[in-house]
Every structure is written in structure tokens, then in C-alpha cells.
């Protein structure tokens, strides 16, 4: 079988790499990279995005039909992609990390396929909100323009709703199908054996990160709540200071791994105010760090997808903690919270509960 995998984020690429090196390793697999992720800047992403033992062909279009495109460039961009896809040969199956955006759906039609397979995209794979009406209208219009410029008739039922809502999907390849909060035509598990096999290949020859050293360490994953105006810099800084104080009480080293969309000026301000906190400025998927660093024992985040799969990737048990409630009420919807809890993540309602979690974790270590 000739497969085409499409990804635009580190987690999407990681899931595709795992599938191509386990469940479908006997097939011929090619890769399309979309979006503006800097694949060359971080060791695990660079290896996954360039590994010719995994991919027959690699197509990298950072701005394909994106924000920098204009009406005068769209036809040329589509023609260039058609030429690249033609060099792969007939494509039997297309694996989409997300079926939300017109660009991804158009790729399916450019290959001549009338269906696609969805792959893992974090918490959005299990439940995602519907688009607003104005967004639906805009995306439907964009897809119509793309199809006209490509000179193709509709082959799939266009999904103008949210991730995982496309009616032309034939299956979902997921790390944890039991977490699904939406319908699926067929759920296929990417099992721990699949994960561990592919991660052994990915990590071969890789060095550990010196910032993630020591046994009594708390890795805190950053968020974009400030950037999305859901909290303020001062409110988040106060929360980080309280977490840091708690870590000091339990003799824990606190390391902050920023989200790739966090603003540099905000992070610089945090580093000025929190001089005892180390910052790990890398974009490698959290799941890669779970596998690579066996010393990791506790990972915390507001509600990141990085908390969902520690048990599949880590070689030793890791405690995952979601601190959405510590930011205040209304910071996470009930479905997303349920998904995290069902994944095995702790969900303290206040700092007293968080302290109890630390107590138990310390006693069991």
C-alpha cells in the first residue's frame, strides 16, 4: 500500500512517525509537512521530518495555502503540490492529523481519494468544539476556491465543523481510543508496543537534555492562557510563584517547558522574576521526553495534551497533574476535564489537594 501522512505540529508528526514505523511499516509511506513549525531546530523533529528509512518522499510546504498566500499565488501553490504528489505515484490511503482545515481536506482530493484516516492530535482528537457560523461560511468559501483553482470536483464531504467531525473519515488511529467523546467509524489503537518500538528507533543516538536532570524534579508545561487573554501575566506569575514555593518545601527542582506559542517577552519577564526556575526552551514533543528521560516522575500543566500519554511513552511511572482549577473557575470545560481524568491525570481542586498529591508522590518514590 502507498500511504500519505500529513502533519503540521510536533505531536501530529510523532504519531505519524510511530504509525509508519509499526502498524504500517511494511507499506510505502510518504510525508507532507504543513504549517510553520521549525522542524530543523530540534533534534527529534529534525530526525522524524527527514528520516528516509521511514519516508519514501518528504514534501515540506510551510505556507501552503496559508495566511501568506494571495489570490495570485494560490493556483501556483496548488499546481506545485499536485506535481509533488504525482512523483509519489498512486496514493492508496491518506492519513490526516486533523480534518478541520480546507488545506488538509484538499490534499485528500488531490490524491484522488474519497476518504481519509484521522490520526492522533491530542485532546482535540477526542472531543472538539464546533466552529462558529461565520467561520463555517469562510472555510466553505475557501474550499470552494481551492477546488476551482485545482480543477477538481468534490470527492469528500467537506468538514466545516471541528476536528474529528468529518463524515468522509474511514477510521481513527489513536493512542487511547477509550477516551473518545465523539463518534468514530472505526477506532484503531496505537498500542504501547507500537509506541515503544518506534521510540527506540527515534531515540537511537540522541543525547539527554541537561536541564532535565536529577530525581526529584517537577516539569511544568507552559500554556497560552495569557496570550488568549484567559488570564493575566500577573495572575499566572503569582500561580507560578506558589508552585515554586511548594516545590521548595518538597525539595523539588522546578523546570518550565514553554508552549511553542508563548510570547518571548512574557517568558523573559517570568525568567527575571523566577530566577530559581530553569527554562527548557525546546519544541520536541513532550512524549519524546517521557521516553528519553527515565528520571521524570512528575509533570504538570494547565490541561495540556502532553499529560495524556505518559503511561504509553515513559519507561517508568510518571505522575501527571492538571492544574486548570488552580487558575480559577471556568478555565476548562467538563468534557476536556473528564478526558484528562480518564487518562489517569490528577485534577486537584485547590492547593491543599495539590500538596496532598505531592505528599503521596514523595512517599511512593
Average pLDDT over residues 170-179: 97
- Three-state SS at 78: helix
Mean pLDDT of the 4-26 span = 97
Domain ranges of the chain: 2-203, 217-364
pLDDT value of position 216:
85
Average pLDDT over residues 301-329: 93
* pLDDT at site 283: 85
Model confidence at 330, in pLDDT bands (50, 70, 90)?
confident
Is 217-364 the same fold as 2-203? yes
What CATH number was assigned to the domain covering residues 2-203? Answer: 3.40.50
Rounded to the nearest integer, the mean pLDDT of the chain is: 93
Position 128 scores a pLDDT of 87
3-state helix, strand, coil in the chain (%, to 5): 40, 15, 45
Is the pLDDT at 364 greater than 70, yes or no? no
**191 class by beta-carbon count within 10 Å (0-12 exposed, 13-18 middle, 19+ buried):** middle
Q: Where is mean pLDDT largest: 64-78, 193-207, 246-260?
A: 193-207
A 10 A CB-CB count for 1 gives: 10
Residue of 214 and 353 predicted with greater confidence: 353
Rounded mean pLDDT, 339-354: 94
For residue 363, the model assigns a pLDDT of 62
pLDDT of residue 362: 64
Q: Which CATH architecture has domain 217-364?
A: 3-Layer(aba) Sandwich (3.40)
d(CA 87, CA 89): 5
Average pLDDT, stretch 251-273?
92
d(CA 315, CA 292): 9
Model pLDDT, residue 365: 58
Q: Where are the alpha helices (DSSP H) in the chain?
A: 10-20, 43-48, 71-88, 102-110, 133-150, 192-203, 233-249, 264-273, 286-292, 310-313, 334-342, 351-364
Q: In percent, how much of the chain has pLDDT > 70?
A: 99
> Which pLDDT score is estimated for 213?
83
Mean pLDDT of 88-108: 95
Cα distances (angstroms) measured from residue 344 to each of 46, 167, 177, 311, 313: 31, 30, 14, 9, 14
Cell digits of residue 101: 482545515
Span 322-332, mean pLDDT?
87
Predicted structure pTM score: 0.94
pLDDT of the residue at 33? 97
Amino acid at each position: 500500500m502507498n500511504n500519505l501522512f500529513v502533519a503540521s505540529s510536533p505531536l501530529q508528526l510523532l504519531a505519524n512517525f510511530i504509525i509508519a514505523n509499526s502498524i504500517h511499516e511494511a507499506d510505502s509511506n510518504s510525508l507532507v509537512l504543513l504549517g510553520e513549525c521549525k522542524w530543523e531546530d530540534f533534534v527529534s523533529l529534525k530526525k522524524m521530518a527527514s528520516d528516509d528509512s521511514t519516508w519514501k518522499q518528504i514534501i515540506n510546504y510551510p505556507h501552503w495555502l496559508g495566511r501568506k498566500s494571495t489570490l495570485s499565488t494560490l493556483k501556483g501553490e496548488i499546481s506545485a503540490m499536485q506535481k509533488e504528489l504525482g512523483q509519489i505515484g498512486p496514493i492508496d490511503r491518506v492519513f490526516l492529523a486533523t480534518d478541520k482545515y480546507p488545506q488538509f481536506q484538499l490534499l485528500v482530493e488531490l490524491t484522488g481519494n474519497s476518504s481519509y484516516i484521522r490520526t492522533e492530535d491530542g485532546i482535540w482528537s477526542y472531543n472538539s468544539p464546533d466552529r462558529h457560523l461565520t467561520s463555517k461560511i469562510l472555510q466553505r468559501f475557501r474550499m470552494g476556491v481551492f477546488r476551482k483553482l485545482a480543477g477538481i470536483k468534490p470527492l469528500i464531504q467537506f468538514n466545516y465543523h471541528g476536528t474529528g467531525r468529518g463524515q468522509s473519515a474511514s477510521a481513527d488511529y489513536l493512542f487511547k481510543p477509550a477516551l473518545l467523546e465523539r463518534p468514530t467509524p472505526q477506532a484503531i489503537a496505537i498500542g504501547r508496543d507500537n509506541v515503544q518500538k518506534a521510540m527506540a528507533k527515534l531515540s537511537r543516538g540522541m543525547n539527554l537534555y541537561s536541564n532535565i536532570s536529577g530525581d526529584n524534579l517537577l516539569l511544568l508545561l507552559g500554556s497560552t492562557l495569557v496570550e488568549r487573554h484567559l488570564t493575566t501575566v500577573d495572575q499566572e506569575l503569582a500561580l507560578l510563584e506558589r508552585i515554586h514555593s511548594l516545590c521548595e518545601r518538597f525539595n523539588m527542582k522546578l523546570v518550565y517547558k514553554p508552549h511553542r506559542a508563548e510570547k518571548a517577552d512574557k517568558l523573559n519577564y517570568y525568567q527575571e522574576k523566577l530566577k530559581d526556575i530553569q527554562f527548557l526552551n525546546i519544541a520536541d514533543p513532550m512524549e519524546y521526553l517521557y521516553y528519553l528521560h527515565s528520571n521524570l516522575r512528575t509533570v504538570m500543566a494547565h490541561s495540556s495534551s502532553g499529560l495524556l500519554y505518559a503511561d504509553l511513552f515513559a519507561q517508568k511511572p510518571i505522575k501527571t497533574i492538571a492544574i486548570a482549577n488552580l487558575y480559577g473557575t471556568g478555565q476548562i470545560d467538563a468534557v476536556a476535564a473528564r478526558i484528562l481524568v480518564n487518562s489517569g491525570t490528577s485534577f486537584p481542586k485547590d492547593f491543599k489537594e495539590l500538596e496532598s498529591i505531592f505528599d503521596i508522590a514523595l512517599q511512593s518514590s
